[in-house]
Structure 1
Amino acid sequence: MIRLLDFIFSLLGLLVGFPVLLVLFVIGLFDTGSPVFRQERVGRNKRAFTLVKFRTMSKDTVSVASHLASTASITRFGHFLRRTKLDELPQLWNVLKGEMSLVGPRPGLFNQEELTQAREQHGVFKVRPGITGLAQVNEIDMSTPEKLAQVDAEMIRTMNLKNYFKYILMTVSGKGSGDRVRK
C-alpha cells in the first residue's frame, strides 16, 4: 500500500510541481551553473542508487555528508533551498522509480562506514530509504550514526499508514531542520 501511495504522490508532485521545479532549476543555473546534484547513495539491501537533489553548495565542494561540509560551501540560494526543504523536490523522481520512499531512513553515503555498519546491525537496509522520517522530524542527523540507526529501526518497526502521513505532514509543516552543516 505504501509503495502505491509513494508512486501516486511522487507522480502528482512531479506533475503539479513542475512549474516550481523549473523555476528553481533556472535560478540554480544562475546560482551555481549546475542546479542538479547527483550522488551515489546506499539504498535498499545496500544497493547503490543515484540520488537527485537541487544543488545547495558550490560545485567544487567535496562530496561528504552534510554535517561534515562547511557552511561556507552553501550558496545564498542554497540556504533558501535547505531552509524550505525545496532542495529535496527532485527526489520525487527517485521515489517514482522505486529507489526511495517518501518516508524512510535518509540514504547515507558509502563512505559513512560507521553509519552503514550500525544500520546493518539494526536491519535498516530492509526498506527503501526515504525523503523524510522519524529521525528527520526529530532533528537527528548522520553525525550520530548509532542513534540515527536506532531511530530508523524504531520507525521501521512502527511504520503504518498513520505514521507515514504523520511524518510527511510534520515535514511539510516545517518540523525538523534538515541536515546540519558545520560552521
Structure 2
Amino acid sequence: MNHPAIRILDFFLALFGLIASLPVLLVLMVIGFFDTGSPIFRQQRVGRFQQPFTLLKFRTMRVDTEQVATHLADRNAITRFGHFLRRSKLDELPQLWNVLKGEMSLVGPRPCLYSQIVLIEERVKRGVFNVRPGITGLAQINSVDMSEPERLAEMDAAMIQQWHWQDYFRFIIATLLGKGKGDRVRH
C-alpha cells in the first residue's frame, strides 16, 4: 500500500475525480449552503504515522453538532439533505482534495479522531498507521465501522498485510457500486 505507484495512481484518479465531479460539487455546495449555511465540514483526523490532518467532507449534520465519532453522534442532528448525502456517499467527494494533497489514499483504513483512544491503540498494535488513511477499504465495503474498534483494526491490518494491486480497484469499484454502509449513526 505504500508503493510509489499507488501515490501516483491516487493523484491522477483524485484529480480526474475532482475535475469530472466539479459540476456536482458546485451544486452540492450551493444546496449545502442553504441547508446548513456551511457546506464543508472540516475535522482534525489521525493520518499516516499518527500525524494530524484536516479531513474535508460535505456537512451532513447541523453546524452546532458536537464533533464526535459518527456512531456517537445524535441521529437528530443529521439534516434532510445530510441523509441524502450519506446514503449516496456524496459527502465523501471533498476527500478527493485530501487524496490529491497526499494526506489520504483512495484505499486505506478510514481516518479516525484523536479522541478514539481504543481504536488508536488497536491500530498502533497492528501497524495500521504506517499507511495513508483512505476513503474506502476492506472494512468499509464490509460495513465494519468505528463502533467496533478492535474488529476494525483487525480488518485494517488484514487489508494491509494481504494487499494486492487488484484490491485497490476492487475496493473502489465496490464502493462506487454502493457496497458497504459507512459509519452508522446510532439511535
Tell me whether 1:179 sits opposite 2:170 in the alignment: no
Runs in 1 of length 4+ with deviation above 6 angstroms? Answer: none
Alignment correspondent of 1:15: 19
Alignment correspondent of 2:40: 36
Q: 1:61 aligns with which of 53, 62, 65?
A: 65
Distance 2:102 2:163 in 1: 18
TM-score, normalising length from structure 1? Answer: 0.99
Distance 1:159 1:48 in 2: 25
**RMSD in angstroms over aligned alpha carbons?**
0.5
Matched position secondary structure for 1:40? strand
Distance 1:161 1:9 in 2: 15
Tell me whether 1:156 sits opposite 2:144 in the alignment: no
Matched position secondary structure for 1:99? coil
Aligned amino acid, residue 96 of structure 2? L
Runs of at least 5 residues in structure 2 that lack an aligned partner in the other structure: none
Distance 1:15 1:83 in 2: 23
Residue-by-residue CA offset, 1:76-96 (whole Å, 9 max, x unaligned): 000000000000000000000
Alignment correspondent of 1:131: 135
Residue-by-residue CA offset, 1:66-121 (whole Å, 9 max, x unaligned): 00001100000000000000000000000000000000000000000000000000
Aligned amino acid, residue 78 of structure 2? I
Aligned amino acid, residue 120 of structure 2? T
Tell me whether 1:89 sits opposite 2:105 in the alignment: no
Tell me whether 1:47 sits opposite 2:51 in the alignment: yes
Aligned amino acid, residue 148 of structure 1? L
Distance 1:21 1:55 in 2: 13
Alignment correspondent of 1:114: 118
Number of residues of Structure 1 aligned to a counterpart in Structure 2: 183
Alignment correspondent of 1:169: 173
Query: How far has the Cα of 1:160 moved from its partner?
Result: 2.1
Q: 1:3 aligns with which of 3, 7, 17?
A: 7
The percentage of aligned residue pairs carrying the same residue is 65
